[in-house]
Structure 1
């Protein structure tokens, strides 16, 4: 089967929440979806060996309410990635994304992630194999280059190869990845951002859907990039730590009015939490993603304090969240 663009994911990519290891799990995504109906949500990176060789299909579990939701895969073997993509498509994901940007040591040892910027031929083979295996859109997320590469030469060549392979949507993290000498955390902050290069790529590849990622901290910044002609903006840590500031008004980008308050979101999380606990889960597995809901607002510290100290206790349930909300409302009154 050839890859065909999924209009839901493509439209939603105007604003997306970045795939973030240990953060954007299914509980986080469910919470984010309650705040924004339109933004595109990504899974944490799931490796193709885990799915194909490890049979870790639980990594594909999600709630139907999360749509539009994209699966990000890590890998470098075309056959294995095709199998993993097929599993993702069968699970109902709206998009399959290939990670060409993660700089972690674990990813490097597996010869995928940002190191793939050095092997564009392999990326093309992987993308083609994935496209042949699924009918949902296959996309990529990359850096502007790695180590001593010249982004001015590397990035346009990389995008050209992807475009000729039939990949029409790419998210570009506007920093190099330094695979030697910098930790994954340092790779998110130290290499300088080059937004101008990404903007030039938008003009050079008018038929591609290009999103920018890296260092974007607010919805206003996202609007500014869209106004300059980019097709989409991906926000990571800011969307996680200040979810309401980024996602609470995000639906306006699609001409939609917000329909919920923070308190509505909390109320809607309670039955989800109850179901999670009934299945054997722990309260903290959900509430750790909710700590930033009141960031910058009266009562934010009390909200975090109650959830942080009480959610880990044995037997903790929805009443902890209700108590945290009461504390917020009392302080704001």
Structure 2
């Protein structure tokens, strides 16, 4: 198969080399017609340049030796000799299903933050390798952590988790140690929870609401999936191109002041008002846990990417009908348009 310059096939080989093994879902990040991407992907697979790993609920792909050779040759033809040394090596891959799920999610989270969000990012694999080089046992605290990587806004570090299509169980001590590790030399450490769809985020919120309504005595001997708490009020995001706009806005130096002003502009004269513009949902969970006690109208201040989550919560009967929402587009903020 011939790889033409600036073709969709060349672009797919470039992405596969730059980010390594990826879930098929990551193809939705590309600003290309999906039919063209799908057609080029299938041709590369038939040519043996890309290979897929499939299992129930999982499909990932990686570049093969033949694909990397074709990519390398295409780069040599399109760049000057002094840049040939900058062509990245072939990335690691695995056919093992459990490892493929983990590796592909780590790489997709990096692609989401670095490619879509234009944010500084280090994968958990890079962090662990760096720690192992500094001291023989320095990575023990991260051994049981399932975080996918780390991003920064100024001096504040945020651990990033990729849950795929739904919720998952985390090792409490491992995650606590991972957060403590970064908070030791940064400002307070936050969290991003990513899922492929808004439905996955609704699953987390529904489970968190169930936990919130239980007493500590009832939960004492239970092994729990991830749930939002007052202490760990993580930012929830779907893995979409529009959510990349949220990351770019989040990194803006005037982010805190801007979301506060937008929330005030959206606040109604009466009724209950809740803002999720900072990406967190704990206030909404508290409202849902007490919704049966009040008939007051409720208004949400949200980004467009959060509206499907509210609709899904309503469909499940967790959120009463009749709510109102003032929605904003993070993309307008990113493009420097005066916010609303």
- Higher RCO (CA < 8 A, seq sep 6+): 1
Q: TM-score range by the shorter chain?
A: under 0.3
> Based on CA coordinates, which of the two structures has the bigger radius of gyration?
2
Task: Report the TM-score when normalising by structure 2.
Answer: 0.26
